[in-house]
């Protein structure tokens, strides 16, 4: 099994727009061959990560 972790830095103030865009992208992500699951979480130390 392969676990991929991606740390994404979002421009401060664009967090809500990023989350909305990610919500739209979830259907594309989940349709990929071999897809099992994903989780989007916000860093507690940095709200833009």
Residue spans per domain, the chain: 1-49
**Residue 2, pLDDT score:** 81
CB 49 within 8 A of CB 42: yes
**Residue 12, pLDDT score:** 94
**Residue 3, pLDDT score:** 84
Structure-block tokens of residue 45:
């130390």
Per-residue pLDDT reduced to its tens digit, 1-49: 788 899 999 999 999 999 999 999 999 999 999 899 999 999 999 989 9
């Amino acid at each position: 099994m392969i676990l991929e972790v991606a740390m994404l830095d979002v421009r401060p103030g664009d967090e809500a727009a990023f989350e909305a865009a990610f919500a739209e992208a979830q259907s594309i992500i989940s349709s990929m061959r071999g897809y099992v699951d994903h989780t989007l979480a916000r860093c507690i130390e940095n709200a833009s990560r």
